[in-house]
Amino acid sequence: MTLSISDQSIRCVGIIGSGNIGPDIALHFSKVLSPYGTRIIMVDIVQEALDSGKAKMEKKIGKGVESGAFKPKQAETMIEAVSWTTDLSDLGSANLVIEAASEDLGLKQKIFGDLEEIVSEKTIFASNSSHLEPERIFAKLTHPRRSMVVHYFFPAERNPLVEVVPSNMTDPELTRSILHFYEDIGKVPLQIGSRYGYAVDPIFEGIFQAALLAVEEGLGDHKQVDHVATQTLGLGVGPFTAMNLTGGTPLTFQGLQGYHEKIMPWYQPPRSMAQQIETGQPWPAAGRSEVIDIDDQARQAIGNDLLGAFFGMACEVIDSGITNLSDLELAIELGLVMQGPFSLMNQVGIQRSLELVENYARKHDGFTVSESLRKQAASGSPWEIGVVFREDHGDVAVVTIRRPKVLNALNPQVMHQMHTIFEEIAADDSISGAVLTGYGRKAFVSGADITVLATFSGPEGPSKAEELSCRDQGIIDFIEDLQKPVVCAYNGLAFGGGNELAMGCHARIASKGMRILAGQPEPNLGIIPGAGGTQRLPRLIGMEPAWKMLRDAKPISSSIALEFGLILEEVEGDLIESAIDIVRQCASGERTLTPIPREPISVPESLPDIDIGHLSQKIDEILQATILEGAAMSLRDGLALEQKRFGECFKTQDGQIGLSNFIENGPRVPAKFTHA
C-alpha cells in the first residue's frame, strides 16, 4: 500500500537542498512515508551540506527515541529510508520532487530545467520557496501544469502548516490532490493565491520590521520589544528570538525589499538590518528565565504599535484576495505559533482595532488602512471566523469540523456554526443528504473543549453545565431529526462529545484498522456524558457493552465498534467517498438505515461488575442511575434526565477535581478523586 497524488503512487520522493530546511522535510517524510516503503532521496551539490544534513536529521531522530516519540525499530527504518547523494540523476524514479535550495530565481529555474531532462513527465514539481511567485519559478518548464509552491514553516518536521500555492498554469486537479496528500500525512495544507511572499511571511517578517522600528524609534530596547511582543501578540517567542532561531535575517531583508515594491510601500528593511547582517551577530533577545524591566507607558506604546501593524497587515492580506479570513487565522495560529489576528481583534474590539491601525498608519509612511477593516468596524459586528465548513459534492453536502490545533474539539462556536449549516442543508432542495467529518486524520472530534467546562465553577456552575448540555443536545437532536440521511465519517478518534455527535447521525463508518476509535472518557474528568451518551449508546450497541464503555471510560477500536454495531463498516479506501455513496443509497431508497430506538429499552436482570479503577465512585453512582433510569424512559425524556444529572456533577468535589487536574496536568495524569 502507498499514498497517492492524483493517479500516482508516491514510491519515491526527492528533496533538493540539504541546508536549513531540506533535512527537516526529509525527516517528516521519513516518519510518515517509510511505513509504506517510500524512498526519500536528498540531493545537494555539496557533500559537506549532505553530511551536515544527515547528521542533523539523525540527531533529531535520536532525540525522538530518547523521548519516546519513536521506537528504536521505527527510528532505524526512518534513517534507512533516506539516501543522500550529489547526483541529481538519482531522482530519475521520483514521483514527487521538492526543491529547497536558496531563494534565488535563476538557481531554482535551472534546477527544475535540469530535472525535466531526468524525471518522468508525470513527476510532480514543488518548490519550497518562501517568497517567489510560482509563475516565475516554473516559467521555463515544458510541463508547468505539474508544478506549484509548497511552502513549509520552521521547524518543518513539526510545524503543521504548509502553504500550497499553485500558479495560473497548475492543473487544478493536482492542487486538490496535493492538499489531500498533505492532510493524509498530518500537515495542515492551505491553498493560497499566487503573489510575492504568499500570505504568512509578509506578516511574520512585517512583525519583525514593526518590532525593529519600535527599537529604532526609541520605544524600548530589543529585549523589551521582544518581551512585549510575546505578551501582546501571544507569540511563543518574540520576533528577535525567532529570527535568531531561524537564521532568517538575510532572507527577511530580501523579503521586505520585495514587499515594498509588490505589497505596501511601508515594507522596507529598517536601517539597522544591514549592519546586523554585516556583523553576523544575533539580535539581542532575552533568555528563558531573564526578567525584563519595562514601565507601563513603554509597554503600552510598544504593544499598541505592534497591534496596529499586525492587524493592518492581516487585513491587507484579506483585501488582496489570495486567501480567506478563516484560513489566514488558522495559518497564523499554526505557522507562527501566535494568537490569530481576527480573534485578537474581536477581543480588543473592532473599532479599537481600527483606531490602532489608523494610528500606526499616521506614524509610518506607506502603511495602508484596510477597507475590509473599515467596513467591519462600521458594521459594529465582530469578525466571523469559520471552524465548520460545507462543501457540496453534487447532491451531498460534506460538513467538516476544522480545529486541528485542538483535534477538532467542540466549543460553542463549533456547535453554532454546525447548527446553522445543517439548517441550510435541511432547507436546500438540491441536497439529498450530508456527510459529517473532521479535519485531518487524527481525530473526528476529540471531545468537548475542556477550557469551556472548567469555567463552570461556583454556585452557578451546575446550571450553566445543564444549559450547555441542553444546547448541545438540541443541536444533535436537530441532526438526528433531519429528514435527509446524515452519515458520520469517523476520520479519526471520537471521544466524549465527538462520539455523542456521531451517534446523532443516522449511520457511522470508520477507516479500517483504527486501534483507537471511540470512547466516552468523561468519568476521567469527574463528570458524565452530557450530549446524549448515556442514552444513545445503550440504544445503539446494547446495554451490556455500553455499560462497560460508559463506566470504565476506555475506548474501543474500529473492529470492536463494527462488532458492537456502532459503525456500519470499516473502509479501506476513500472514507468520504464511501460515506457519500451511503448517503446517496439511502436518499434513493436503495438502502435503509435502522433508526435509533426512541422508546424505552429493556435492561438485563443483572449487569456485569465493572472495575472503575481510580475513577470517582460518586460520579459512577450518578452515571449508573442516569443510564438505568433513562433506559426506562423515552429517548427524549432520558436526554432531559441526562442534562439534569450532568449539571449535578458540577456540585460534587470530584467534578471540580477532575476538570482542574486536566487543565493543570493534561489527560495522562489520573485525578485524585475523593469520591465526594
Residues tagged active-site: 500, 522
CA distance 6 to 186: 18
C-beta atoms surrounding 89 within 10 Å: 12
CB 371 within 8 A of CB 319: yes
Cis bond upstream, residue 155 (ω within 30) = yes
CB 140 within 8 A of CB 114: no
CA distance 358 to 352: 10
C-beta atoms surrounding 611 within 10 Å: 8
Bridge partners (DSSP) listed for residue 191:
164
Bridge partners (DSSP) listed for residue 15:
42, 98
* Host H or E run for residue 661: helix 653-665
Which among 247, 252, 280 has a CA at the least distance from the CA of 267? 252
C-beta atoms surrounding 269 within 10 Å: 21
CA distance 21 to 152: 8
CA distance 344 to 377: 14
CA distance 590 to 30: 44
Sheet holding 188-191, edge to edge: 82-85, 39-43, 12-16, 96-99, 124-127, 147-152, 161-166, 188-191
Q: Which three cell numbers stand for residue 464?
A: 450553566
Is the dihedral angle over the CA atoms 490, 492, 493, 494 positive or is it negative?
A: negative
Neighbour-count burial of 85, counting CB atoms closer than 10 A to its CB (0-12 exposed, 13-18 middle, 19+ buried): middle
CA distance 533 to 641: 12
Bridge partners (DSSP) listed for residue 296:
none
Provide the residue type at 350 as one letter: I
CA distance 411 to 303: 29
CA distance 126 to 138: 10
Provide the residue type at 599 as one letter: E
CA distance 44 to 153: 21
Provide the residue type at 257 as one letter: Q
CA distance 3 to 154: 25
CA distance 31 to 34: 6
The DSSP line for 351-381 is HHHHHHHHHHHHHSTTPPPPHHHHHHHHHT-
C-beta atoms surrounding 54 within 10 Å: 18
Residue 140 Cα distances to 44, 97, 169, 289, 449, angstroms: 22, 17, 12, 51, 50
64, 68, 70, 72: CA torsion to nearest 10? 100
Strand segments (E) across 481-619:
486-490, 493-495, 507-511, 518-519, 569-571
| 617-631 vs 635-649: helix crossing angle, rounded to 10 | 170
Q: What are phi and psi of 675, to 5 degrees?
A: 65, 35
